[in-house]
């Protein structure tokens, strides 16, 4: 009987998330870098319980267009690379398209964003039940809320320093 099994996508994503998000400060770093890349000149970071139960990063950057909001939590989804040649000219902090996907796979996450060219904002919630996207009122820019970090990966949560 074969011993090697191919993991399902959900399990593989949780394991891969551990390479990007080892601790709460990685989440804050990734989200703040996204804010800077979006042209924000004001970024607010709020945390509770050392970031384990709650992290909120709000910026006044360009925002995410409605059609792109659900794509931003997919692995390897990025606005910065279209061809292999683009790799040599990267001038931003984040480009791999891993951060939001990794964070969403190990937390309950909410993204609220309004692109500067749109009149209404978009709210996307992502958790163990899937994703839900609705229109919402909000200022230009993006807010990402991360709750219950590593709630679904108890081994990773156990090794977090308090």
- Among 43, 40, 57, residue whose Cα is nearest residue 107: 57
**pLDDT tens column, 25-60:** 889 998 998 899 899 999 999 999 999 999 999 999
Average pLDDT of the residues of the chain? 82
Q: In this model, does residue 92 exceed pLDDT 60? A: no
Q: Are 136 and 110 in contact (CB under 8 A)?
A: no
pTM for the model stands at: 0.80
What does the angle CA 58 – CA 46 – CA 140 come to, to the nearest 5 degrees? 10
- Among 98, 130, 132, 124, residue whose Cα is nearest residue 12: 98
């Amino acid at each position: 009987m074969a011993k090697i099994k191919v993991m399902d996508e959900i399990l593989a994503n949780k394991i891969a998330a551990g390479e990007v998000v080892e601790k709460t400060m990685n989440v804050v770093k990734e989200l703040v870098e996204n804010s800077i890349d979006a042209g924000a000149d004001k970024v607010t970071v709020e945390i509770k319980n050392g970031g384990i139960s709650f992290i909120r990063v709000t910026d006044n950057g360009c925002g995410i267009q409605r059609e792109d909001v659900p794509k931003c939590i997919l692995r390897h989804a990025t606005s910065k690379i279209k061809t292999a040649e683009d790799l040599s000219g990267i001038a931003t902090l984040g480009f791999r398209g891993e951060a939001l996907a990794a964070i969403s796979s190990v937390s309950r996450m909410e993204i609220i964003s309004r692109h500067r060219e749109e009149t209404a904002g978009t709210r996307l919630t992502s958790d163990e039940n899937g994703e839900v996207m609705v229109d919402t009122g909000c200022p230009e820019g993006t807010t990402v809320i991360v709750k219950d970090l590593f709630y679904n990966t108890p081994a990773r949560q156990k090794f977090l320093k308090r």
